[in-house]
Structure 1
Amino acid sequence: MNKRSDPGLVRPYVKAGGRLRASQRLALIALVVPGGGTMPDPGPEHGQIMALFGTQGTMSVAEIAAYIGVPPSVTRILVSDLIDHGCLAVHTADRPDTSVLEEVLRGLHKLVA
């Protein structure tokens, strides 16, 4: 029988409470912001995520995964938990004015031509 060399190693599905799917549909580029709610019994990873927002204002799911060292699929589940309890919210940005983007594109074309 193989023994693990790192006794602190925890399988990702354990960190997600055995769940394989998040309750929210979150893209890795989805931006989340603090929501002000509280979670009754947060796990250690939930606490790590919330601690990040003490120093950061808005973060993507991918950034959160990188900072806490958890696979993105697990991070989606953990972030979904926090959204469900109102601790985090998905940031929805207004669509940019396309006329500004078209002007920038024309300027770039002039630079290359």
Structure 2
Amino acid sequence: MTRIGQPWFDDAAGPLVRPYAVTRGRTMGAGHDLDMLTLVVTVSPAPRLRHVETEYSEIVQMCRTAQSVAEVSARLNLPLAVTKILVGDLIAEGVLNFRAPASGDSDTDIAGIGDLNILQAVLNGIRKL
């Protein structure tokens, strides 16, 4: 029980607002399939924001230089799924530009056969330890 004048929350408890409250209960973004490696950058000059939530203005400020969605999520201290929704809203409004991560056609590109061989070699090395 707290005494009069003492705060009723603990700093170690974390945020008091649940992530779904930030997105108003939405679990899907504005139609953009964003990857955690997608780069986002603020359009210059940035149009006026239609959202009053502080997260939107923070995203616009930090994306003056290109940031990945994962970096934005880490800096905001929000789950990646929530950040994707907020970033998607700003892309849909024309406030942010985005560039999806490069994907290749060869077998040795990201998540291709080459990566699986490397992962298998690492696993084999760990097992030998």
Question: d(CA) in 1 for partners of 2:14 and 2:99?
Answer: 38
User: 1:37·1:88 contact (CA, 8 Å) conserved in 2?
Assistant: no
1:85 matched to 2:96? The reply is no
* Greater RCO, CA 8 A, separation 6+: 1
User: 1:38·1:85 contact (CA, 8 Å) conserved in 2?
Assistant: no
1:25-64 deviations in Å (ceiling 9; x for gaps): 100000111122332233111111112134xx11100000
Question: d(CA) in 1 for partners of 2:102 and 2:15?
Answer: 43
Normalised to the residue count of structure 1, the TM-score between the two structures is 0.69
**Equivalent of 2:74 in 59, 62, 66:** 66
Question: d(CA) in 2 for partners of 1:94 and 1:27?
Answer: 11
Cα RMSD of the aligned pairs, angstroms, is 2.7
1:51-99 deviations in Å (ceiling 9; x for gaps): 2134xx111000000011000000000001111111101136888xxxx
SS of the aligned residue for 2:97 comes to strand
**6-15 vs 75-84, which deviates more?**
6-15
The residue number in structure 2 matching 1:40 is: 50
Aligned residues: 93
Question: d(CA) in 2 for partners of 1:25 and 1:94?
Answer: 14
Normalised to the residue count of structure 2, the TM-score between the two structures is 0.61
- Dislocated runs of 4+, deviation >3 Å: 3-8, 92-95
Q: Percent identity?
A: 32
